[in-house]
Amino acid sequence: MGECLVPDSNAAAASILIVDDTPTNLALMVELLQPHYRTRVALNGEKAIALALGTEPPDLILLDVMMPGLSGYDVCRRIKADPRTRDIPIIFLSAMGAVEDETLGLQLGGVDYVTKPIRPAIVLARIRTHLAMAGQSRERERLVTRLEQQTSALSELNHTLEQRIADGVAQVERLGRLKRYFSPSVVDLMLSGNSDDPLKSHRREVAAAFVDLRGFTAFTEA
């Protein structure tokens, strides 16, 4: 059994992977879910893991516990151990209703544990709840990532502004020192670098005269 799709009008619906080794159970779950979701099915744990790790991972997994080969618990362990699939919510569907069975399923990372025979309305309600919670979690992660990016950009901008302010203050200080010894008009000509600079051909001599003053490196190298 492969993928069973709902009509195109519902193409944006969430995708649910149903895992059960009993074809009758799979058929019943597909019939229940198909009006609301896209469904895929797997008859064993190996196939379930392959589908979960495929190009289109499911939004939620309904997982039987008692299966030949890999049990539902084994499948859950494998899925939760892989970074690509660990955030997919898993709801166990099992005839094993003992407290320790349910406890183990939740400890392994399942978000819910529903005992068979299922009550359709309850199953649908729990699926809706966990899909909504998963969507909210993804949105929070998206917002956190966006906030971190904006914070990083703002920090970089602040650093640039601080550097520009520091450069500006240093430039003002250098100008102030120059203007102690030259008239403002001469300083402006010196800094403009044009042919009217009266000291253009004597910058090294001027720099030597002011070697005891700090901040004239830019002037001598201009």
- Residue ranges of the domains in the chain? 3-137, 182-222
pLDDT at 137: 85
What class, spelled out in words, does domain 3-137 have in CATH?
alpha beta
- Give the separation between CA 64 and CA 215, rounded to whole angstroms: 76
The pLDDT confidence band at residue 149, using thresholds 50, 70 and 90, is confident
Percent of the chain at pLDDT > 70 equals 75
Helix (H, G, I), strand (E, B) or coil at 41: strand
- Give the separation between CA 57 and CA 72, rounded to whole angstroms: 17
Average pLDDT over residues 183-190: 65
53 touches 35 (CB < 8 A): no
pLDDT at 182: 66
Q: In the numeric block, which tokens belong to residue 63?
A: 């997982």
Tokens 């859950």 sit on residue: 76
110 touches 91 (CB < 8 A): yes
